[in-house]
Structure 1
Amino acid sequence: MASPTSSVLPADGRGLGRGFGMLWTAFLIANLGTGISSVAFPWLATSLTRDPLLISLIGVIADLPWLLLSLPLGAVVDRADHRRVLTTTHWGRAALTAGIALALATGTMALGILYAVAFVLGTLTVANENASQTILPRLVGPDRLQRANARLTVADTTVGVFLGPWVGGLLVGVALAVPFTVDASLFALSGLLVLLLPVTPREPSPTSRSLRRELAEGLRFFWRHRPLRDLGLLLGVLNLAGAVAIATQVLFAQEILGLNAVQYGLLFMVGAVGGTIGAQATPWMESRLGPRRVLLMSLAGSASALVIVGLASHGIVVAGALSVSAGLGLAWNIITISYRQRIVPEGLLGRVNSIYRLISWGPLPLGSAIGGLLVTAGQAAGGREIGLRTPVLVSAAVISVLFVIALTRLRTGLWSKTGSAYADDQG
């Protein structure tokens, strides 16, 4: 098997190479568009309906591809040229967001259209994120994966959670069609940059093998590798709880915190400062505390932050809590993604990524649905405010239980730089 960097053009001397620099730039631009969408889509939904169940259904539909399509798309990524997958998915998202802008401009926008676009966008996002993680070991060496993932995570936080939502709030204030027009341009530019990546086309995997056999091969590797299996299951429950909490967050922001569109974007912006700090500090925290303690801190911090959010009535308090939670959450991502990229063979990485993400992200649509139902039930029992606070506090309770479980599952001996010591772990 070729080394991870054998197909990459020479580095540009800045440590991670010209190829990574171009991937990082495309990632930055695309995530700016995603950040804008994170405000524009739910705000558009509230202009079409005030029903919490119908609003949460958008999240259900957008996340459904993680559950339904992660496995087959992972096999496709392993067979295909990663650069082509990235380009196609970026341009597909550009076309869809342009379609939303056109529907708004012509007065033909409807909730059904929003649901359909959400599903297709979610499908393209599944393929895009899988390919982004799978191509990275071909652009940087294994000893630089932690650093590369940290830079990508900082970029994601800075523009996707920090700058993007704030810009989205400003653009929504101009007109609802404007943020979607900007999104289309950003995704189109990202696709062009990825098309120019200085990486030789990847030799496709043999297509004579059945898709089922290839998926089974990836599943066996994942399930027999206990650290990967435990991390995937833990993240699945964590993301389920997170989806419950955020399913109706736009209504929480509007009705409990009293925020307008610009202020809602600022809430993300302030909250993401901690995310950026956490991503930058992850190598230091891991070297001082060890990965196990950092991951446990992430769970404890998330549970505590949700308790504060669920009881708060002021945007600044909520932003502060989210800032701490985001920093610890991104530390979890950097540590676990880098670990996965180091220990999974390149030919299996797309499939293992898809299985990992099926387990960890597949519960998102269920969480969104539960969030909407909890608001409805809480509202019936104690009024609108109690209803909107209920899913946040329930999520905090679930993550607290998860922390207790993780104390025994995330053992100190899980981690090594290669992961080879654990590949035969059948426990």
Structure 2
Amino acid sequence: MAGLGRSFTHLWASAALSNLADGVLKVGAPLLAVSITRSPTEVALVGAAATLPWLVFALPAGAVADRVDRRRVMALANAGRAGGLVAAGALAASGVLNLWLMLLAVLVAGVAEVFADTAAQAVLPMTVPAERLAAANGRVVGAQTVGNDFVGAPLAGVLVTLLPAAVLGGPALLYGAAALLLLGMRGRFRPARPPRADGQGAASMRREIAEALRYLWGHRFLRTLALSAGAINAASAAYFGVLVLWLVGEGSRVGLEPSGYGLMMTALAVGALAGSLVSERITRLLGEGRTLVLMWMVSALLHLVPVLLPVAWLLYPTAVVWGLAGASANVLVISARQRLIPAELLGRVNSAYRLIGMGGMPVGAALGGVLGELAGLPAVFLSATAVSVAAVCLVWRVAPRRISVPLTSDHTVDPTSGSLSAP
């Protein structure tokens, strides 16, 4: 890609394929679950299985990313989830797939995703100049959303109907190809200053993780951002974990076909692609702090549309705006973290941030299922909206107009306030 170099091109292509696989799995697995059971609790377990690994493996994944070649971590993780899904696809083709085997396959893929994604966010600043981070992240987020939703979601809807085994086998092939593409990256992708080994094994890793946690907790803005993201993601997991029951099937409120659900995800991807491309312009116009608060608030309030106006055609323009707001905020937040966190800490602090930001998702998904079972699906949707709005208000209190100031040799970031100070 122009101005971003060969290594970024291979990284981007690998991200595009792996996220296409993610999209098929993300939409296809819940649809497969709905074909097996109509229990909100059991369907919600699929979302919980996909996100539970972030709660368990995020911190070790960050420590690994700061110790070894980050490209190699990504390649091995992609190869690992390819192998796990090949086995699951073979079981599905044999007609012996049940909910628990599918949950196991999703769980294995989720563990690999933690290591792959943690290393990917840490390796990107090593492939492009600092001033091109926003542009590079915009392209990666665009590839993620197109793969996840624009192509992967409708493809999953078709595969569930025509060839259910391919919902698991297809992503396996894509993950394998993504691993191979990473071999085309040229250069050194191990941190220049890896953590100093004061000990061996687990004790040394615990000290490295503790250093990252202290940095994150001492940085007022990053700490608040992580806590707010955690609340929003937990609420979102509860919401989307049962949304398929509200939208799809004869007993649903909206009555979409599986292919219609896939098309809604496609509409979301159209908006997300636009958001990834215009995020930099919106940020220049409004400032980073205002852009982040606005985009997160729009996303939160759009949760209400399927509940208050359960009309099929209205879901599609809603999804477009939803995607635009979410992708714009993602580009901004990722670029800010890559600039604010020192390079030698990036893997670990990123993983600590994502542990807080994503660790609540399996809990949210499980609670959403239980609440839906006990109080009905509207209670889940309204509660998720309320939590998200409260989290956005928390960020609004601390977000400066300008968030991500590049680190240079002449300045350091004050970890207490996140502002710049002379050394």
Q: Tell me if TM exceeds 0.5.
A: yes
Q: Distance in 2 between matches of 1:235 and 1:40?
A: 26
The answer to whether the 8 A contact 1:79-1:206 is kept is no
Letter in 2 for 1:425: T
**1:36 matched residue in structure 2:** 24
**2:107 matched residue in structure 1:** 119
CA displacement 1:157-194 (0-9 Å, x = unmatched): 11212111011112222110123222111111001001
CA positional deviation for 1:201: 5.3
The answer to whether the 8 A contact 2:7-2:184 is kept is no
Q: Which moved more, 1:293-302 or 1:283-292?
A: 293-302
Q: Distance in 1 between matches of 2:109 and 2:231?
A: 24
1:368-407 alignment to 2 at 5 Å? 368-378=365-375, 387-407=376-396
The answer to whether the 8 A contact 1:306-1:321 is kept is no
1:195 pairs with 2:195: no
The answer to whether the 8 A contact 2:340-2:404 is kept is no
**2:37 matched residue in structure 1:** 49
The answer to whether the 8 A contact 1:302-1:396 is kept is no
Letter in 2 for 1:417: P
Q: Distance in 1 between matches of 2:188 and 2:214?
A: 30
Change (3 A) 1:415 1:338: closer
Q: SS at 1:79's partner residue?
A: coil
CA positional deviation for 1:133: 0.4
Letter in 1 for 2:324: G
Give the alignment's TM-score, normalised by structure 1. Answer: 0.91
**2:243 matched residue in structure 1:** 249
**1:9 matched residue in structure 2:** none
Unaligned runs of 5+ in 2: 419-423
Q: SS at 1:247's partner residue?
A: helix
1:341-380 alignment to 2 at 5 Å? 341-378=338-375
1:129 pairs with 2:127: no
**1:5 matched residue in structure 2:** none
Q: Distance in 1 between matches of 2:355 and 2:331?
A: 19
1:423 pairs with 2:414: yes
Q: Which moved more, 1:22-31 or 1:271-280?
A: 271-280
The answer to whether the 8 A contact 1:414-1:422 is kept is no
CA positional deviation for 1:312: 2.5
Q: How many percent identity over aligned positions? A: 34
CA positional deviation for 1:310: 1.9
1:186-335 alignment to 2 at 5 Å? 186-200=174-188, 202=190, 205-209=195-199, 210-254=204-248, 255-335=252-332
CA positional deviation for 1:199: 2.2
Give the alignment's TM-score, normalised by structure 2. Answer: 0.92
Q: Distance in 2 between matches of 1:75 and 1:317?
A: 45
The answer to whether the 8 A contact 2:337-2:404 is kept is no
CA positional deviation for 1:47: 2.1
Q: Which moved more, 1:17-26 or 1:59-68?
A: 59-68
Letter in 2 for 1:119: L
The answer to whether the 8 A contact 1:226-1:422 is kept is no
Q: Distance in 2 between matches of 1:201 and 1:311?
A: 49
Change (3 A) 1:357 1:21: same
Q: Distance in 1 between matches of 2:196 and 2:407?
A: 27
**1:141 matched residue in structure 2:** 129
The answer to whether the 8 A contact 2:336-2:403 is kept is no
The answer to whether the 8 A contact 2:70-2:123 is kept is yes
CA positional deviation for 1:206: 5.0
CA displacement 1:3-46 (0-9 Å, x = unmatched): xxxxxxxxx8x200010001001110111111111221111112
Letter in 1 for 2:347: G
Q: SS at 1:107's partner residue?
A: coil
Q: Distance in 1 between matches of 2:84 and 2:197?
A: 30
The answer to whether the 8 A contact 2:44-2:366 is kept is yes
Unaligned runs of 5+ in 1: 1-11, 379-386
Q: SS at 1:412's partner residue?
A: coil
CA positional deviation for 1:426: 5.7
Q: Distance in 2 between matches of 1:351 and 1:404?
A: 27
The answer to whether the 8 A contact 1:243-1:367 is kept is yes
Letter in 1 for 2:142: V
CA displacement 1:256-311 (0-9 Å, x = unmatched): 22122211111100122111111111111010100111111112201221111222
Q: SS at 2:338's partner residue?
A: helix
Change (3 A) 1:57 1:316: same
1:70 maps to which of 49, 58, 72:
58
Letter in 2 for 1:403: V
Q: Distance in 1 between matches of 2:219 and 2:7?
A: 31
Q: Distance in 2 between matches of 1:284 and 1:405?
A: 25
Q: Distance in 2 between matches of 1:205 and 1:397?
A: 41
Q: Distance in 1 between matches of 2:310 and 2:333?
A: 34
CA displacement 1:234-261 (0-9 Å, x = unmatched): 1111111111111112212211221222
1:58 maps to which of 41, 46, 66:
46
**2:421 matched residue in structure 1:** none
Q: SS at 1:248's partner residue?
A: helix
CA displacement 1:338-378 (0-9 Å, x = unmatched): 11111222221110011000110001011101110121122
CA positional deviation for 1:121: 1.3
Change (3 A) 1:414 1:323: same
